[in-house]
C-alpha cells in the first residue's frame, strides 16, 4: 500500500468537511442588512416597558398582525428620540414621509406553509420565545440571511449547518413543527400546516 | 397537560339539483377564492383548472319532453378507500382527520398524474401551463391559498383556508372548536339559489347531515365503495338514475347533453 | 478505421456502411431530443394528454418496453439460477436489450412527470401503500443492476481488456453475476407485478380494477406472467433480427428452440390465467362496482374483438406455435410467433392504459379519445433510435453472442 495513502485520505476528508460545513453555508446564503437598526432592548426595557403584543398583536379574528406599521411608531417618533444617525434617518425617511419600513422578516415561512399564531398562543399558551428566541432583549438586528436557491430565510433551517446542538427555538423546518405537535398530541395531516 | 384534541368533523355538502340553474356562480367563486389563474389561451375544456365544474346533462328526449339538469361536480371528498390517497407515491395526498377533507399538497406533488387516473369523478386537475395573472391582478390573490406551479395536480379542498381562518378565530378566543357559521366554502356562499347545504355530516343537528339523509338524496357512483361526502338530491327520478354507472352504451349516448 | 476496436474474429461491415446505417437513427434521435426539450422547457401542454387522459402514449410505451425487457432478467434467471447453460449464447444480448428498455423507460418517465426535479421525493417521502412507489424503487435499483451487468461486457472489448486492472475487475464482476441475476430476478418479479398492480388497484376505474390475493390484485400476477412469457420471445426476435440485418449466424438453432419452448409454456399458463381472470372480472368484480360489463366493449374501436385479439390471436396462437416441436424447427415460424407474442403483451399494456382512461365512469360522459402529439411520438421514437444506436455500437464492438465466432467457421 502507498504510505501516503492515509495522509491523502485524511486531507481529502478534512477538505470535504470544510467545504460542506464552512464553505457551502457561506455560498448558500446571502446576507442583507435591515433597512433600519432597531433595538428591541430599548423598547422592552424598563424605561419604555413595552410588551411583545403591543407591537405584534393577535386580533380577535385570529389574524396575527406580524410587524407593526409605521402608525405604531409614530406617537413617540414624530420627534427624533436620541441623537443617533439611525434614528434621524428613521424619522426623516419613514415617519415624516409616512412610508412603511421594508423590514426583512426572519421568521417568514415559505409560500406553501400555513401558520397561524392563534392556536399556538390561544390554545397551547406558548411564550413568544419558544419559537422566536429571546430577541426581545436584543440590542441589534442581525443581518437577514437569504437562501440563494430557495430565497427562504435562514431561520427556517436554523443557524447551525449541521442542526446539531441547537437551541429549542433554532430551526423552523417541517420536522421541527411536527416534533412539537407529536409531543403534544396534535392531530396532524398535510393540511394542518400546508395550504 | 391539556389535550390538544379537537372534535372530529366529517364535512360534506348536499347539492339540490332541482334548485341549481347552472349559473356558474359557484365555479367562479371557487376560482377566485382558490387563486385559480385565468385559463391559458391554448387551454381546452380538458386542460383547464375547474375545481368545481358545472356539467349540463339532458334526459335525451326530443322536444317537448326534453329536460336538462346542471350538476356541479367538485372533489367528492371520498371517505373509505379514497382512490387518490393510496396511489400517490410521495404522500402529497392525505385525509385530514379533523375535517375529513382530502388534501393535495402542490409543493410535494411530482406531477405523475396517477391520482387523476385513479379518480372516478375526474375531479383532479393538472397544471398543463404556467400560472399567469394579468399585471396587477396578483394583488387580488388570496393569501390563505398557495398558488400552484406548472406540472402539479390540484383539486377542491372545501376551501380549507376558510376552515383554518375559522379555527384561528376560535383559537384566539381560547376555543378548540370552530363556530359552524364561520366555515362555509366559497361555492356555498356564492350560490344565489342556496342549492348547496354544507356542514358536518357527523353532527346530527347540522342541516347538511339532515339533508344527506332525506329521501331523494343520493351520491354518484356509490357502488364503487369510495364513500363520497358530496351528496346530491333531486325529486326527478331520471336525474337520480344518473348516479349509477350501470347503463347500456346507447342510453349513455342518448343522455349526453 | 475503427478496426482495432471491432470484435476479434467477427465479420462486421465497413465503417462507412456502419455510419450510413446509424445516420437515419441519429436523425430520429435529434428530432426526439428537440421534442423532449420542448416538453421540459414549455411543459406538458406540448402533449395531447389532458385532465381526462392523464396517461398516454408514454405510459403505454413504458409498460410495453419494460415487459419486453423482462427477457434480460428471465434469461439471467434461467442461466444462472436454473443453470440452462445453452442460454449463455444470448445472455449478453439480453442484458443490453434489457438495459436499453429500462433506461428508455426511465428517460420517458422523467419527461412525463410534471416536476422531474422532484423525483427524489419518492425516495425521501415514500408512500409505502402505492404501487408506483414500489415500481420506482425497483426500477431504479434494477437499472443499476443492469448497468453493472452491462459493465463486464463493455470491459471485455478488445482494447479495454488490454488494461490489466479492467481485466481483473471484469473477472470479479463475473463471479458475482449469479448474485446479480438473483437480485435482478427478485426486483423484476416485484416491479413487473407492481406495474400490473398499478391498474388493478384502481377501485374507481372498474375496467382496470381486479380482486386479488392479499394486497395484490390479479393484474399483479398476470403482468409478471405475461412479461416472463414474452421476454424470451423478444430475445429470440431481436437475435433473429440482428442476425438478419448483419448477415451472420449468431446462435445455434437449439438456443432459439429453448427460448421458444420457455415462452410457449409460460404463454399457455398466462393465457389460462388471463382467461379465468377475465371471466371472474366480467361476471363478478365489475358488476360489484355497479357497472354493466358489456359497456366496456360497447365503444368503438375498443369492441370485444380486442379481447379475442389479445388473448387468442396474440396469446394462444403464438403459444401453440412455440410448444409444437415441429414448428419450433422452423425459424420463420418462431419469428412469426415471437412477433405475435410481443404484440400481445403490448396490446395488453395498451388496453390497460388507454381503454381504462377512455371509458367513462359517469353515465352522462362520453367515451374519451386521445391522439398523441408529434412531441409525444418523437419522444417515443427517440427511445427507439437510442436503442438501435446503443445496440448497434454494442454489437459492433462487444461480444454479445459468444457462439458467433465458432459458427462462422461453418
- Residues C184-225 have pLDDT tens digits of 999 998 899 999 999 999 999 999 999 988 889 999 999 999
Cα(B173)–Cα(B171) distance, integer angstroms: 5
Q: Which helix (H) or strand (E) holds C141?
A: helix C131-155
Cα(C179)–Cα(C172) distance, integer angstroms: 12
pLDDT tens for each residue of C70-91: 988 999 999 999 999 999 999 9
| Interchain pair B89, C127: CB under 8 A | yes
| CB-CB neighbors (< 8 A) of C115 in chain B | 109-111, 149, 151-152
Residue A183 has pLDDT above 70, yes or no: yes
pLDDT tens for each residue of C8-30: 878 888 999 999 999 999 999 99
Quote helix, strand, coil % in chain A, to nearest 5: 45, 5, 50
DSSP-H helix ranges across B88-247: 114-118, 160-172, 186-190, 207-212, 237-240
Q: Measured between CB atoms, which of C127, C289, C366 is closest to B88?
A: C127
Quote the mean pLDDT of chain C.
Answer: 93
Beta bridge partners of B125: B154
C119 touches chain B (CB under 8 A): yes
Q: Measured between CB atoms, which of B97, B147, B161 is closest to A189?
A: B97
Pick the CATH number of C3-407 from 3.30.390.50, 1.10.3720.10, 1.10.10.410, 1.20.1630.10: 1.20.1630.10
Cα(A99)–Cα(A129) distance, integer angstroms: 29
DSSP B180: G
Beta bridge partners of B202: none
| CB-CB neighbors (< 8 A) of B222 in chain C | 290
pLDDT in the model for residue B252: 47
Domain boundaries, chain C: 3-407
Cα(C135)–Cα(B110) distance, integer angstroms: 15
Q: Which three three-digit cell numbers place residue C286?
A: 365489475
**Taking phi first (over 0 means left), then psi (-120 to 50 degrees means alpha), and beta for anything else, what does residue B228 get?**
beta
Q: Measured between CB atoms, which of B3, B94, B95 is closest to A185?
A: B3
Q: How many CA atoms lie within 13 A of B197 on its CB side?
A: 20
Q: Residues B192, B194, B195, B196: what is their CA dihedral angle, to the nearest 10 degrees?
A: 110
How many contiguous H segments (helices) and E segments (strands) does chain A have? 11, 2
Q: Measured between CB atoms, which of C114, C119, C126 is closest to B126?
A: C114
Q: Which helix (H) or strand (E) holds B12?
A: strand B11-16
Q: Which three three-digit cell numbers place residue C120?
A: 427524489
Q: Measured between CB atoms, which of B103, B108, B146 is closest to A189?
A: B103
| Interchain pair C363, B42: CB under 8 A | no
Residue C144 has pLDDT above 90, yes or no: yes
- The domains found in chain B, sorted by start residue, are 11-255 (3.30.70.20)
Disruptive mutation site among A118, A126, A150, A177 for chain B (greatest number of B CBs within 10 Å) = A118
For B50, name the nearest residue in chain C, comparing CA atoms only: C51
DSSP B231: E
pLDDT tens for each residue of C262-282: 999 999 999 999 999 999 999
**Taking phi first (over 0 means left), then psi (-120 to 50 degrees means alpha), and beta for anything else, what does residue B197 get?**
beta
Q: Measured between CB atoms, which of B46, B220, B257 is closest to C52?
A: B46
Q: How do strand B153-154 and strand A144-147 relate by DSSP bridges?
A: unpaired
| CB-CB neighbors (< 8 A) of C113 in chain B | 110-113, 151
Interface of C with B in 168-227 (CB under 8 A): 198, 201-206
Question: Does A26 or C132 have the greater pLDDT score?
Answer: C132
Cα(A105)–Cα(A132) distance, integer angstroms: 11
Q: Which three three-digit cell numbers place residue A152?
A: 427562504
Q: Measured between CB atoms, which of B47, B127, B244 is closest to C363?
A: B244
Question: Does C408 or C238 have the greater pLDDT score?
Answer: C238
* DSSP letters spanning A121-183: IIIS---THHHH-SGGG-SSPPPEEEETTT--BHHHH-S-SS--S--TTS---HHHHHHHHHH
Chains C and A touch (3+ CB pairs under 8 A): no
Q: Which helix (H) or strand (E) holds C138?
A: helix C131-155
pLDDT in the model for residue C203: 93
| Interchain pair C114, B246: CB under 8 A | no
* pLDDT by position in tens, chain B (length 257): 345 566 789 999 999 999 999 999 999 999 999 999 999 999 998 999 999 999 999 998 999 999 999 999 999 999 978 999 999 999 999 999 999 999 999 999 999 999 999 999 999 999 999 999 999 998 999 999 999 999 999 999 999 999 999 999 999 999 989 999 999 999 999 999 999 999 999 999 999 999 999 999 999 999 999 999 999 999 999 999 999 876 554 454 444 44
pLDDT in the model for residue A22: 84
Q: Which helix (H) or strand (E) holds C166?
A: helix C164-200
Residue A162 has pLDDT above 90, yes or no: no
Question: Does B18 or A165 have the greater pLDDT score?
Answer: B18
| CB-CB neighbors (< 8 A) of B46 in chain C | 50-53
Cα(C71)–Cα(C90) distance, integer angstroms: 10
Size of interface B-C (CB pairs under 8 A): 189
Residue C379 has pLDDT above 50, yes or no: yes
* Strand arrangement of the beta sheet that strand B11-16 belongs to: B196-200, B11-16, B230-233, B217-218
For B253, name the nearest residue in chain C, comparing CA atoms only: C366
Q: Which helix (H) or strand (E) holds A30?
A: strand A29-32
pLDDT tens for each residue of C39-52: 999 999 999 999 99
Q: How many CA atoms lie within 13 A of C323 on its CB side?
A: 12
Q: CB atoms < 10 A from the CB of A25, how many?
A: 16
* DSSP letters spanning C346-396: HHHHHIIIIIHHHS-SSTTSPPP-----HHHHHHHHHHHHHHHHHHHHHHH
| Interchain pair A190, B167: CB under 8 A | no
pLDDT in the model for residue C322: 96
What backbone phi and psi angles, to 5 degrees, belong to C152? -60, -30
Q: Which helix (H) or strand (E) holds B250?
A: helix B249-255
Among the listed residues B77, B215, B243, B124, the one whose alpha carbon sits nearest the alpha carbon of residue C290: B243
| CB-CB neighbors (< 8 A) of B106 in chain C | none
Interface of B with C in 83-142 (CB under 8 A): 83, 86-91, 108-114, 116-122, 124-130
pLDDT tens for each residue of A74-115: 988 988 888 888 899 999 999 999 999 999 999 999 989 999
Q: What percentage of chain A carries pLDDT values higher than 90?
A: 56
| CB-CB neighbors (< 8 A) of B6 in chain A | 187
pLDDT in the model for residue C301: 84
Among the listed residues A96, A32, A43, the one whose alpha carbon sits nearest the alpha carbon of residue A68: A43
| Interchain pair B224, C203: CB under 8 A | yes
pLDDT in the model for residue B4: 56
| Interchain pair B112, C112: CB under 8 A | yes
Amino acid at each position: 500500500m502507498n504510505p501516503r495513502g492515509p495522509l491523502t485520505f485524511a486531507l481529502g476528508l478534512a477538505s470535504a468537511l470544510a467545504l460542506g460545513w464552512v464553505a457551502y453555508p457561506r455560498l448558500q446564503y446571502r446576507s442583507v442588512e435591515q433597512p433600519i437598526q432597531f433595538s428591541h432592548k430599548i423598547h422592552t426595557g424598563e424605561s419604555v416597558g413595552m410588551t411583545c403584543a403591543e407591537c405584534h398583536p393577535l386580533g380577535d379574528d385570529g389574524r396575527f398582525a406580524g410587524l407593526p406599521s409605521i402608525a405604531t411608531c409614530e406617537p413617540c417618533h414624530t420627534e427624533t428620540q436620541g441623537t443617533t444617525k439611525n434614528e434621524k434617518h428613521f424619522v426623516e425617511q419613514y415617519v415624516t414621509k409616512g412610508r412603511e419600513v421594508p423590514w426583512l422578516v426572519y421568521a417568514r415561512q415559505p409560500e406553501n406553509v400555513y401558520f397561524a399564531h392563534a392556536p399556538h398562543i390561544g390554545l397551547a399558551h406558548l411564550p413568544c420565545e419558544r419559537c422566536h428566541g429571546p430577541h426581545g432583549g436584543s440590542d441589534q438586528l442581525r443581518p437577514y440571511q437569504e437562501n440563494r436557491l430557495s430565497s427562504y430565510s435562514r431561520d427556517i433551517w436554523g443557524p447551525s449547518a449541521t442542526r446539531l446542538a441547537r437551541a429549542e427555538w433554532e430551526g423552523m423546518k417541517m420536522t421541527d413543527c411536527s416534533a412539537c405537535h407529536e409531543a403534544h398530541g396534535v392531530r396532524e395531516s398535510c393540511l394542518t400546516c400546508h395550504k | 397537560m391539556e389535550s390538544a384534541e379537537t372534535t372530529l368533523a366529517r364535512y360534506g355538502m348536499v347539492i339540490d339539483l332541482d334548485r341549481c340553474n347552472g349559473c356558474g356562480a359557484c365555479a367562479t367563486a371557487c376560482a377566485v377564492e382558490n387563486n385559480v389563474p385565468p385559463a391559458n389561451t391554448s387551454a381546452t375544456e380538458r386542460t383547464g383548472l375547474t375545481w368545481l365544474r358545472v356539467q349540463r346533462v339532458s334526459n335525451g328526449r326530443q322536444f317537448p319532453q326534453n329536460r336538462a339538469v346542471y350538476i356541479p361536480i367538485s372533489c367528492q371528498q371520498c371517505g373509505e378507500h379514497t382512490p387518490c390517497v393510496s396511489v400517490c407515491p410521495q404522500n402529497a395526498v392525505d385525509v385530514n382527520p379533523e375535517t375529513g377533507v382530502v388534501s393535495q399538497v402542490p409543493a410535494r406533488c411530482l406531477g405523475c398524474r396517477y391520482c387523476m387516473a385513479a379518480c372516478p369523478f375526474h375531479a383532479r386537475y393538472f397544471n398543463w401551463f404556467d400560472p399567469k395573472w394579468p399585471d396587477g391582478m396578483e394583488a387580488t390573490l388570496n393569501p390563505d391559498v398557495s398558488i400552484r406551479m406548472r406540472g402539479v395536480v390540484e383539486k377542491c379542498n372545501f376551501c380549507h383556508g376558510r376552515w383554518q381562518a375559522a379555527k384561528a378565530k376560535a383559537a384566539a378566543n381560547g376555543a378548540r372548536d370552530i363556530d359552524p357559521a364561520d366555515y362555509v366554502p366559497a361555492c356555498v356562499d356564492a350560490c344565489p339559489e342556496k342549492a348547496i347545504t354544507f356542514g358536518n355530516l357527523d353532527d346530527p343537528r347540522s342541516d347538511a347531515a339532515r339533508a344527506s339523509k332525506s329521501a331523494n338524496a343520493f351520491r354518484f357512483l356509490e357502488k364503487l365503495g369510495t364513500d363520497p361526502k358530496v351528496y346530491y338530491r333531486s325529486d326527478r327520478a331520471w336525474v337520480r338514475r344518473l348516479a349509477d354507472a350501470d347503463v347500456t352504451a346507447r342510453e349513455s349516448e342518448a343522455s349526453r347533453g | 478505421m475503427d478496426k482495432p476496436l471491432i470484435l476479434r474474429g467477427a465479420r462486421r461491415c465497413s465503417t462507412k456502411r456502419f455510419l450510413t446505417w446509424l445516420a437515419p437513427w441519429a436523425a430520429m434521435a435529434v428530432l426526439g431530443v428537440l421534442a423532449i426539450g420542448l416538453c421540459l422547457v414549455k411543459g406538458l401542454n406540448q402533449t395531447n394528454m389532458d385532465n381526462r387522459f392523464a396517461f398516454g402514449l408514454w405510459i403505454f410505451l413504458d409498460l410495453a418496453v419494460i415487459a419486453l425487457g423482462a427477457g434480460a432478467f428471465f434469461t439471467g434467471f434461467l442461466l444462472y439460477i436454473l443453470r440452462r447453460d445453452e442460454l449463455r449464447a444470448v445472455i449478453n444480448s439480453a442484458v443490453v436489450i434489457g438495459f436499453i428498455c429500462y433506461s428508455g423507460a426511465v428517460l420517458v418517465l422523467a419527461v412525463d412527470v410534471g416536476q422531474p426535479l422532484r423525483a427524489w421525493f419518492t425516495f425521501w417521502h415514500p408512500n409505502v401503500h402505492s404501487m408506483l412507489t414500489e415500481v420506482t424503487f425497483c426500477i431504479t435499483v434494477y437499472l443499476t443492476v443492469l448497468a453493472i451487468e452491462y459493465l463486464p461486457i463493455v470491459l471485455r472489448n478488445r482494447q479495454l481488456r488490454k488494461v490489466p486492472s479492467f481485466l481483473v475487475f471484469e473477472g470479479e464482476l463475473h463471479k458475482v453475476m449469479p448474485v446479480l441475476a438473483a437480485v435482478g430476478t427478485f426486483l423484476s418479479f416485484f416491479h413487473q407485478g407492481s406495474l400490473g398492480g398499478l391498474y388493478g388497484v384502481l377501485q374507481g376505474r372498474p375496467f382496470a380494477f381486479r380482486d386479488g390475493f392479499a394486497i395484490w390484485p390479479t393484474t399483479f400476477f398476470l403482468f409478471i406472467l405475461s412479461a416472463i412469457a414474452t421476454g424470451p420471445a423478444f430475445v429470440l426476435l431481436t437475435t433473429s433480427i440482428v442476425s438478419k440485418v448483419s448477415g451472420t449466424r449468431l446462435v445455434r438453432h437449439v438456443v432459439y428452440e429453448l427460448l421458444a419452448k420457455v415462452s410457449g409454456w409460460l404463454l399457455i399458463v398466462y393465457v389460462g390465467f388471463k382467461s379465468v381472470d377475465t371471466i371472474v372480472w366480467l361476471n363478478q368484480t365489475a358488476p360489484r362496482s355497479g357497472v354493466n360489463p358489456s359497456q366496456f366493449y360497447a365503444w368503438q374501436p375498443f369492441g370485444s374483438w380486442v379481447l379475442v385479439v389479445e388473448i387468442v390471436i396474440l396469446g394462444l396462437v403464438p403459444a401453440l406455435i412455440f410448444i409444437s416441436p415441429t414448428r419450433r424447427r422452423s425459424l420463420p415460424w418462431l419469428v412469426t410467433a415471437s412477433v405475435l407474442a410481443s404484440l400481445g403483451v403490448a396490446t395488453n399494456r395498451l388496453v390497460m392504459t388507454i381503454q381504462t382512461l377512455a371509458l367513462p365512469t359517469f353515465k352522462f360522459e362520453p367515451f374519451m379519445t386521445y391522439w398523441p402529439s408529434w412531441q409525444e411520438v418523437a419522444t417515443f421514437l427517440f427511445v427507439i433510435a437510442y436503442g438501435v444506436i446503443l445496440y448497434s455500437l454494442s454489437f459492433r464492438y462487444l461480444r454479445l453472442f459468444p457462439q458467433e465466432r465458432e459458427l462462422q467457421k461453418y
